[in-house]
């Protein structure tokens, strides 16, 4: 990463799809409380000195590189004063539409070689192509309608999420729309030891999903 938080792999951003004006408006209109987010995450400021508005868009439209873990050396009982002979690490990339996971793996290999780390061995274990469907499709409008009906509040539409799913495999060939109806809340602790959902939200989402089949099947 450079001082701005940009991934330093040459070509990493070449294929990133630029968001449309409509998609940027969608993010701009979504509720965003930076101070509350910092408190939930337990941080005092966003990484690399990024401002609140920059973070709002980066969280949706920018890819990431994350070092999940590093292992090396001796951690057993007693002393061991030798220099470790090897180290292992796990890295993941969260990609955005039009980036190809296999191409990113190739770019990483080239980056390591150019940087003098040609002795580093790595394997690309798995990868999913990112996908973003049309936000103005009848399916999205139907989900928005049933969500607002059940939750009693305006629906918040986000062009894409940072999660991994097989949307590209299912939808890309026919450019199908896709949408995920969320039922979490800001303090749900996603992927943390205390991750949870509220039962009332669960039942609301279930009722909304049931109504979706009828509405989507009958809307013009």
pLDDT value for 220 = 52
The secondary structure of the chain in percent helix, strand, coil, rounded to multiples of 5, reads: 40, 10, 55
Pairwise CA distance, residues 151 & 135, whole Å: 20
From first to last of its 220 residues, what are the pLDDT tens digits of the chain?
888 889 999 999 999 999 999 999 999 999 999 999 899 888 999 999 899 999 999 999 999 999 999 999 998 899 888 899 999 999 999 999 999 999 999 999 999 999 999 999 999 988 999 999 988 899 999 999 999 999 999 999 999 888 888 889 999 988 899 998 888 888 888 888 999 999 999 999 999 999 999 898 887 5
Is the distance from CB of 161 to CB of 124 less than 8 angstroms?
Answer: no
Q: Which spans in the chain are helix H?
A: 21-29, 34-41, 52-61, 101-114, 138-151, 167-171, 199-218
CA distance to 141, 152, 174, per residue, from 216 (Å)? 9, 19, 19
Q: Which of 203, 200, 201, 208 is nearest to 147 (CA)?
A: 208
Distance (Å, whole) CA 139 – CA 116: 50
Cα–Cα distances in angstroms (integers) from residue 72 to residues 86, 108, 112, 138, in the given order: 6, 21, 19, 52
Count the neighbouring beta carbons within 10 Å of the beta carbon of residue 23.
20
Question: Among candidates 220, 115, 95, 92, which has minimal Cα distance to 167?
Answer: 95
CATH code for 21-114? 3.30.70.360
Burial class (CB within 10 angstroms; exposed 0-12, middle 13-18, buried 19+) of 60: buried
Let me know how many helices (H) and strands (E) the chain has, helices first: 7, 2
Sign of the CA dihedral with 112 first, then 113, 117, and 120 last: positive
The CATH number of the structural domain formed by 138-218 is: 1.10.150
Domain ranges of the chain: 21-114, 138-218
Task: Give which of 63, 118, 117 is closest to 92, Cα–Cα.
Answer: 63
Does the pTM surpass 0.75? The reply is yes
Looking at residue 135, its pLDDT comes to 87
Element (H, E) at 74: none
Residue 173, helix vs strand vs coil: helix
């Amino acid at each position: 990463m450079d001082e701005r938080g940009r991934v330093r792999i040459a070509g990493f951003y070449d294929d990133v799809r630029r968001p449309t004006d409509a998609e940027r408006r969608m993010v701009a209109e979504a509720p965003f409380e930076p101070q509350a987010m910092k408190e939930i995450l337990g941080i005092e400021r966003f990484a690399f000195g990024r401002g609140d508005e920059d973070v709002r868009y980066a969280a949706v439209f920018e890819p990431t590189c994350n070092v999940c873990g590093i292992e090396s050396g001796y951690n057993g009982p007693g002393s061991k004063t030798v220099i470790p002979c090897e180290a292992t690490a796990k890295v993941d990339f969260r990609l955005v539409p039009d980036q190809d996971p296999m191409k990113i793996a190739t770019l990483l290999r080239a980056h390591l070689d150019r940087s003098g780390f040609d002795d580093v061995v790595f394997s690309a274990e798995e990868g999913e192509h990112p996908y973003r469907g049309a936000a103005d499709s009848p399916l999205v409008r139907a989900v928005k309608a049933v969500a607002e009906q059940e939750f009693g509040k305006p629906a918040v539409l986000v062009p894409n999420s940072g999660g991994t799913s097989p949307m590209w495999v299912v939808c890309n060939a026919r450019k199908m729309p896709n949408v995920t109806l969320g039922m979490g809340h800001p303090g749900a602790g996603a992927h943390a030891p205390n991750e949870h959902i509220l039962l009332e939200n669960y039942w609301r989402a279930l009722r909304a999903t049931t109504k979706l089949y009828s509405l989507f099947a009958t809307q013009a």
